[in-house]
Amino acid sequence: MRESVFFVSDTHFKYDASILDERMKRDRFISFLAGIEGASRLYLRGDIFDFWFEYRSVVPRYYRDVLDALSSLRRSGTEIYIAGGNHDFWLGSFVSETLGFTILPPLVTHTIQGINVTMTHGDDLLPGDRGYKILKAVIRSRLAVAAARAVHPDALFALARRFSRASKGITEKKTERAAKTLLAMANDAFFRWGNDAFVTGHIHSPRIERFGDRTFVILGDWEKSFSFLEIREGRLSLGFYRPGEKTLIENR
């Protein structure tokens, strides 16, 4: 068993694995998982799937290859923890009971190799954005979930696909500015829980910044950066996965 602990977010796996970019992204992620077999833990910090919704007797079939690779990693002895993001918040019993992953709350602190690490997906960290926060509360309500279950799965996923395309276009324009805003806020706002490190996803711009003995990390994404966080021997390192090449590591 390797003592390394890994964090990944925002892979945004789409519904059609036959599209070239999607196939390449999945193959790279599956290669990454094979390379970390036997690691102590893997944390999936939201938006792993571009959309996920479980009906009582139907689960998404679009991600079978990714789920098989994650299951193989778990069989190697790696504990897998997963949290929903703004695209895949609706994780259910298939994930926890059938796959055996531990579903985490939106904000949680775990002690890892003596380091108190507070982690979140991060879609509610930025100040303002009141419209999004209202929408978030509505679509996660019991009424909205019940309404979604009344819709045929194909129709629901088609609707989610259109919404995802629209929101992605808006998000890309704000990414760099959002990352800079979080970095400016970090030392004052994100170490209120006795934590030594704060790890967030959502913003597709990987960053690692140290404030004395505190470390702030934006995990980035697997659409352009292919970034991940590794904790080994109490050291946090931001990596950029390149299959067949030496992985780039940033230890700022």
Question: Could you tell me the residue range of the domain that residue 47 belongs to?
Answer: 2-250
The phi and psi torsions of 187 (rounded to 5 degrees) equal -60, -35
Q: 97: which DSSP letter? A: I
* Helix or strand (DSSP H, E) at 82: strand 79-82
Sign of CA dihedral 63, 66, 69, 74: negative
The per-residue pLDDT for 83 is: 94
- In this structure, what token pair is assigned to residue 235? 């050291």
Pick the closest to residue 234 from 75, 4, 26, 34 (CA basis): 4
Q: 152: which DSSP letter? A: -
Work out the burial of residue 115: count CB atoms within 10 Å of its CB; fewer than 13 is exposed, 13-18 middle, 19 or more buried.
middle
The per-residue pLDDT for 251 is: 67
Do the beta carbons of residue 92 and residue 174 sit within 8 Å?
no
Segments in the chain below pLDDT 70: 1-2, 57-58, 129-141, 144-150, 152-173, 245-248, 250-252
β 102-103/79-82 pair status: parallel
Residue 152: how many other CB atoms lie within 10 Å:
10
- How far is 100 from 71, CA to CA, in rounded Å? 8
Total structural domains within the chain: 1
pLDDT single digits (tens) 6-27: 999 999 998 877 889 999 999 9
Full-model pTM:
0.87
Pick the closest to residue 228 from 209, 247, 252 (CA basis): 247
Listed in sequence order, the residues at least 6 apart from 24 whose beta carbon sits closer than 8 Å to its beta carbon are none
Listed in sequence order, the residues at least 6 apart from 52 whose beta carbon sits closer than 8 Å to its beta carbon are 60, 84, 87, 88, 90, 91
For the chain, state the CA radius of gyration. Answer: 18
- How far is 78 from 38, CA to CA, in rounded Å? 6
Q: What per-residue string of b and e applies to 15-37 under the rule 16 or more CB within 10 Å gives b?
A: bebeeeebeebbebbbebbeebe
Q: Residue 116: which CATH number?
A: 3.60.21.10
User: Which amino acid belongs to residue 244?
Assistant: G
Question: What separation in angstroms does the CA of 63 have from each of 70, 161, 217?
Answer: 11, 15, 27
The per-residue pLDDT for 220 is: 96
- How far is 5 from 41, CA to CA, in rounded Å? 5
Do the beta carbons of residue 199 and residue 7 sit within 8 Å?
yes
The per-residue pLDDT for 150 is: 63
- In this structure, what token pair is assigned to residue 135? 């929408």
